[in-house]
């Protein structure tokens, strides 16, 4: 591994931890947080581009960040609504009750 | 005005969303008619692009005159315009069914008002996905489409928050993987433009990079491809109105498949790229897994679940075309794509129309003898099933015919055997289904008369399936062939040396 690729470890780690959490957490808030982490990984990857690449990567990071934030808020609203109805955010538990 | 048609195709439904939402605060009817008007206006605008597209080929349009990567470039091709027209037709049908569903299911007027703008947003996003030529904008519209679809599920499904959440999460994960793949390519090539990416990848000749990005981009579509398989979406199926399931699985899923086609054959199709053995094996197994859903569809006792399995299973044909990658194979795959959009929507609509309940179980036993009470409804169902099975002269027959031709040309026995097996196997459930429709059984069967207004969308879709088959030569010549990669076009001199016939 070259020194140049070291700065990619953090975004790659965030992305991997995020994607792992998406599939293995049952808690909906955990899933939302994992999704946010995976977005941070993508944004981190864009920010790690050298400045010689021009301002485009930073603009893309800004846009991806805005979309990620908006979606996380939306997922948060969904979680809040589900919490109000079911008093839990465990996906399996809610699923059982909804299917009845 | 005519010069700006490409951008208007996206701007009209997006702007109409706000009008429809605004009018919804004052009048339910006004909001509803606004949505109708917007979708109809967009359909007319798409229609107006056809003369120029058929005469001059793809129409390139730079938004605000800015060149990529800062500007957004749109490209309307004859095939993407045809898909856009189909999507708008299906959106109009879905919105029409929304009205009657609202009455039957006792849907709150506020939810119904909100569903209209969400439907036009989803339609606009899917149209944009067809036309935009840079990876990041494609991601943005894909993501917006997922949000609008999740919103529709929340509005229309019973206790839809959980399913809406999972749909949003799954769809967004897919869109994020797509973004990751695009950024990966951008990092290596310095471009986001889909056409430019192929040129840069060819110059770099970095096949490992292409494979890595390809894996990310292909896995991005996993969520969309399995929608609405009862293995993963059972609860969603039981709680969502069939017309909306039909709209999402015919339009959203097939749009994702079209984007996959663009990615595989216009961005990652670098000459000289050889897939490793493990990837080739996995790629060949994927369509077989999808075709396997036909066996599950035949085993179902619930009409809705059977149609959901059929929707997923049919994607196997399209994927076979992508794997073979020859001219006949891609022609067959795109023909199948067109036919499947109509058939899947038609079958889901039929589930809703032939059922007394807005959501829930739809047992096959209730369909016994439908043909004796309403011959036309049964006939439409038979046309849809015939297209799934591949009976001439439906659109589905010609798609499968070209795919079989490609399999024979390539001598790919591994894919030919399952495809022929499935085509023969499908004859049995199709015959049983036809028998059921005309069975003389009185108890526990469906007897309620079906109004002409309910059947009209089915009639339109069945007619379109037949027209697709009857005019298949014109459709292939005018729409499908120009959408194929340049190597398959009859160009006298290739305009880009490495994309021309010499290399191929």
CA dihedral A71, A72, A77, A78 (to 10 degrees): 80
B180: nearest CA partner in chain A? A42
Q: Of B163, B245, B359, which Cα lies nearest the Cα of A95?
A: B163
Residue B193 backbone phi and psi in degrees, to 5: -75, 130
Which of A8, A16, A99 is the mutation pick for testing B, counting most B CBs within 10 A? A99
Between the two ends of chain A, the Cα-to-Cα distance in Å is 53
User: Where do we find the tokens 């036909």?
Assistant: B294
Main-chain dihedrals φ then ψ at residue B317, nearest 5 degrees? -65, -45
Q: Are A21 and A30 in contact (CB under 8 A)?
A: yes
Q: Please give the pLDDT value at position B442.
A: 59
Q: Please say if the pLDDT value at position B267 is more than 90.
A: no
Name the phi and psi angles at B60, rounded to 5. -100, 135
Give the model's confidence band at B298: pLDDT under 50 very low, under 70 low, under 90 confident, else very high: very high
pLDDT at B503: 46
Residue to mutate among A25, A44, A64, A70, with most B CBs inside 10 A, is A64
Q: Touching check for B113 and chain A: CB below 8 Å?
A: no
Pick the CATH number of B1-133 from 3.30.1360, 3.40.50, 1.20.120, 1.10.357: 1.20.120
**Cβ-defined contact of A75 to B168 (cutoff 8 Å):** yes
Task: Give the residue among B356, B360, B127, B333 at the shortest CA–CA distance from B239.
Answer: B360
Domain coordinates in residue numbering, chain B: 1-133, 135-274, 300-504
Q: Which of B140, B164, B179 sits opposite A78 (nearest CB)?
A: B164
Could you tell me the pLDDT band of residue B207, with boundaries at 50, 70 and 90?
Answer: confident
Q: Which residue has 């290739």 as its token pair? A: B494
Check CB contact under 8 Å for B136 and A81. no
DSSP state of A90: B
Residues of A in contact with B179 (CB under 8 A): 42, 64
What count of other Cβ atoms lies within 10 Å of the Cβ of residue B336?
Answer: 30
Coil/strand/helix, residue B496: coil
CB-CB under 8 Å, A35 with B172: yes
Q: Quick check: helix, strand or coil at residue B62? A: strand
Whether B169 and A35 lie within 8 Å, measured CB to CB: yes
Question: Quick check: B26 and B71 in contact, CB under 8 A?
Answer: no
3-state secondary structure B14-53: HHHHHHHHHHHCCCHHHHHHHHHHHHHHHHHHHHHHHHHH
Rounded Cα gap, residues B432 and B427, in angstroms? 9
pTM for the complete prediction? 0.92
pLDDT(B179) > 70: yes
Contact status of B143 with chain A (Cβ, < 8 Å): yes
**Mean pLDDT lowest for which of A69-73, B215-219, B268-272, B472-476?**
B268-272
Tell me the percentage of chain B whose pLDDT exceeds 70.
94
pLDDT score for A2: 54
What values do phi and psi take at B439, rounded to 5?
-65, 145
Residue B500 has pLDDT above 50, yes or no: no
Any B CB within 8 A of A45 CB? yes
Give the separation between CA B499 and CA B482, rounded to whole angstroms.
15
Contacts of B235 in chain A (CB under 8 A): 95, 98-99
Contacts of B187 in chain A (CB under 8 A): 45, 49
Mean pLDDT of B389-396: 92
Quickly tell me which residue has 């229309």 as its tokens: B156
Contact check, Cβ <8 Å, A35/B183 = no
Complex-level ipTM? 0.93
CB contact A60 to B (< 8 Å): yes
- CB pair distance less than 8 Å for B165 and A45: no
Query: Domain range holding A84?
Result: 3-99
Q: Is pLDDT of B424 > 80?
A: yes
Facing B162 at nearest CB: one of A35, A49, A82: A82
Q: Domains in chain A: how many in total? A: 1
Of B65, B184, B208, nearest to A57 by C-alpha is B184
Least confident of B44-58, B200-214, B418-432: B200-214
Q: What mean pLDDT comes out for the span B70-84?
A: 90
In chain B, residues with a C-beta closer than 8 Å to the C-beta of A95 are 162, 235
From B123, B144, B142, select the one nearest B180 (Cα to Cα).
B142
Alpha helices in B57-160 (DSSP H): 78-105, 109-131, 135-156
Contact B130, B166 (CB under 8 A): no
| Domain containing residue A32: CATH number | 1.10.287
Residue of A54 and B152 predicted with greater confidence:
B152
Q: Is A4 on the interface with B (CB under 8 A)?
A: no
- A3 pLDDT band, cuts 50/70/90, is low
User: How does B182-220 read in b/e, with b if 16+ C-beta sit within 10 Å?
Assistant: bbbbbbbbbbbbbbbbbbbbbeeebbebbbebbebbbeb
> Do residue B180 and residue A46 have CB atoms under 8 angstroms apart?
no
What number of other Cβ atoms are within 10 A of residue B68's Cβ? 18
The single residue listed with the structure tokens 């149209």 is: B127
Residues of A in contact with B212 (CB under 8 A): none
The answer to whether the Cβ–Cβ distance between A45 and B183 falls below 8 Å is yes
């Amino acid at each position: 591994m070259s020194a140049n690729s070291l700065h990619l470890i953090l975004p790659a780690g965030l992305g991997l931890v995020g994607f792992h959490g998406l599939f293995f957490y049952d808690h909906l808030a955990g899933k939302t947080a994992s999704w946010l982490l995976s977005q941070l990984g993508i944004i981190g990857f864009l920010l790690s581009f050298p400045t010689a690449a021009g301002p485009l990567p930073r603009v893309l990071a800004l846009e991806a960040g805005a979309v990620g934030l908006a979606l996380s808020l939306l997922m948060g609203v969904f979680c809040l609504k589900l919490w109000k109805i079911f008093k839990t955010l465990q996906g399996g538990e809610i699923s059982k009750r909804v299917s009845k | 005005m005519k010069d700006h048609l490409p951008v208007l195709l996206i701007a009209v439904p997006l702007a109409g969303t706000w009008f429809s939402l605004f009018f919804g605060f004052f009048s339910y009817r006004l909001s509803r008619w606004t949505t109708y008007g917007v979708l109809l206006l967009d359909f007319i605008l798409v229609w107006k692009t056809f003369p120029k597209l058929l005469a001059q080929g793809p129409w390139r349009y730079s938004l605000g005159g800015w060149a990529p990567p800062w500007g957004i470039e749109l490209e309307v091709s004859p095939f993407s315009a045809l898909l856009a027209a189909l999507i708008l037709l299906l959106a109009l049908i879905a919105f029409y069914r929304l009205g009657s569903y609202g009455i039957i299911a006792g849907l709150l007027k506020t939810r119904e008002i909100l569903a209209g703008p969400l439907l036009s947003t989803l339609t606009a996003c899917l149209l944009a996905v067809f036309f935009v030529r840079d990876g990041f904008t494609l991601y943005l519209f894909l993501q917006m489409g997922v949000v609008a679809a999740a919103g529709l599920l929340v509005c229309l499904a019973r206790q839809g928050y959980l399913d809406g959440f999972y749909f949003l999460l799954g769809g967004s994960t897919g869109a994020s993987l797509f973004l990751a793949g695009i950024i990966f390519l951008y990092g290596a090539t310095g471009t986001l433009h889909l056409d430019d990416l192929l040129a840069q990848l060819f110059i770099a000749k970095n096949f490992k990079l292409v494979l890595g990005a390809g894996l990310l981009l292909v896995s991005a579509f996993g969520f969309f491809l399995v929608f609405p398989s009862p293995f993963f979406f059972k609860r969603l199926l039981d709680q969502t109105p069939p017309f909306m399931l039909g709209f999402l699985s015919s339009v959203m899923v097939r749009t994702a498949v079209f984007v996959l086609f663009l990615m595989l054959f216009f961005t990652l199709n670098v000459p000289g790229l050889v897939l490793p053995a493990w990837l080739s094996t996995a790629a060949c197994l994927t369509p077989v897994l999808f075709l396997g859903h036909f066996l599950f569809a035949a085993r179902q006792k619930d009409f809705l679940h059977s149609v959901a399995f059929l929707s997923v299973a049919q994607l196997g044909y399209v994927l076979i075309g992508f794997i073979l990658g020859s001219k006949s194979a891609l022609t067959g795959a795109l023909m199948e794509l067109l036919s499947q959009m109509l058939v899947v929507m038609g079958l889901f609509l039929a589930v809703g129309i032939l059922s007394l309940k807005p959501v829930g179980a739809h047992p096959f036993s209730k369909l016994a003898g439908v043909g004796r009470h309403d011959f036309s409804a049964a006939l439409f169902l038979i046309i849809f099933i015939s297209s799934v099975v591949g009976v001439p002269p439906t659109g589905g027959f010609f798609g499968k015919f070209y795919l079989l031709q490609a399999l024979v040309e390539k001598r790919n026995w591994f894919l030919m055997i399952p495809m022929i097996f499935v085509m023969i196997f499908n004859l049995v459930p199709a015959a049983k289904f036809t028998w059921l429709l005309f069975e003389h059984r009185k108890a526990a069967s469906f007897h309620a008369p079906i109004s002409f207004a309910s059947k009209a969308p089915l009639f339109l879709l069945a007619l379109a399936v037949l027209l697709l088959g009857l005019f298949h030569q014109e459709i292939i010549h005018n729409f499908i062939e120009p959408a194929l990669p340049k190597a398959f076009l009859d160009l006298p001199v290739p305009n880009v040396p490495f994309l021309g016939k010499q290399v191929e």
